[in-house]
Homo-oligomer: A and B are copies of this chain.
Amino acid sequence: MRFDELNWFDVESYLKDEDRLILVLGACEQHGYLSLLTDAHIPLALADAASQQTGVLVAPPLNFGSSPYFLAYPGTLSLRLSTLLDVVEDLVRSAYGYGFRRFLLLNGHGGNDPVRGRLYELANQLPDLKLAWYAWWTAHSVAEVAQKHSLKPAHASWLEVFPFTRVADLPPGEKIPPVVPGLMGAEQARQVYGDGVFGGPYEVDPEIMDEIFAAALKDILHLLAF
């Protein structure tokens, strides 16, 4: 269940014998031929699936992350890193205030990784707070599925093509990953990445995607038992 479908009475009832919450951290940024919200939609879909099996509530997704390197691609909406850290702190503190204690952060975007640093600081300040972090595309389980099919994970490539991220036709074939010279500014990044895909096949058999999703979901269900 998402907060959308609930009123405050519902959350109060829930907190009587539960204290787990799923927070979805997304991004609004170029994803090649895929939806600008790809990084929000994937963890949200995983959250919904996990919620359906466990009843754990899902907070509204944060639709924006830290994506400074993609700001030359129209449609990217990036929070400064300092802003992003504050947003996540505020969300955790709000929900902690009336009783949530165990937070699973489902992150959909690599640029949000620094949030973990702020979470450690919060863990020092809020007694009994329990935090778990999951970035699906970096999981061992997902890597194994990819490896099994001789595929490599990459931003905006086959790895992120789900029915709920596809908004246009995809090119045939695959892309040779560009050479990346250090930490690039946005203009240079656009020159280097061109269509925005980091390389590999543009899409693969949907059954592989089901395997990917199932692997990540299994991890999440395991993490929710904290």
Enumerate chain A interface residues (CB-CB to B < 8 A): 3-12, 14-15, 28, 30-37, 40-41, 59-64, 66, 68-69, 71-83, 85-87, 90-91, 94-95, 97-99, 111, 113-114, 116-121, 123-124, 129-133, 167-168, 181-186, 188, 196, 223, 226
Residue of B nearest to A195 (CB): B9
Q: Check if A30 sits within 8 Å of B7, measured CB to CB.
A: yes
Q: Which residues of B contact A11 (CB under 8 A)?
A: 36, 74-75
Inter-chain CA distance A76–B9, complex, in Å, is: 11
Q: Check if A81 sits within 8 Å of B121, measured CB to CB.
A: yes
Inter-chain CA distance A4–B40, complex, in Å, is: 9
**What 19 new A-B contacts, CB under 8 Å, besides A8-B30, A8-B75?**
A3-B35, A3-B37, A6-B75, A7-B30, A7-B167, A7-B168, A8-B76, A11-B75, A40-B60, A60-B63, A61-B63, A69-B120, A71-B124, A74-B99, A77-B94, A79-B87, A83-B83, A111-B120, A131-B182
Q: Check if B78 sits within 8 Å of A8, measured CB to CB.
A: no
Q: Which residues of B contact A181 (CB under 8 A)?
A: 130, 226
> From DSSP, what is the main secondary structure of chain A's interface residues?
mixed
Q: Residue among A8, A11, A113 with the most chain B CB within 10 A?
A: A8
Pick from B15, B35, B41: contact of A7, CB below 8 A: B35
CB distance from A225 to the nearest CB of B (A): 11
Inter-chain CA distance A81–B87, complex, in Å, is: 11
Q: Check if B3 sits within 8 Å of A28, measured CB to CB.
A: yes
Q: Which residues of B contact A90 (CB under 8 A)?
A: 64, 77-80, 83
Inter-chain CA distance A95–B73, complex, in Å, is: 10
CB distance from A89 to the nearest CB of B (A): 8
Q: Check if A60 sits within 8 Å of B32, measured CB to CB.
A: no
Q: Residue among A4, A12, A37, A40 with the most chain B CB within 10 A?
A: A4
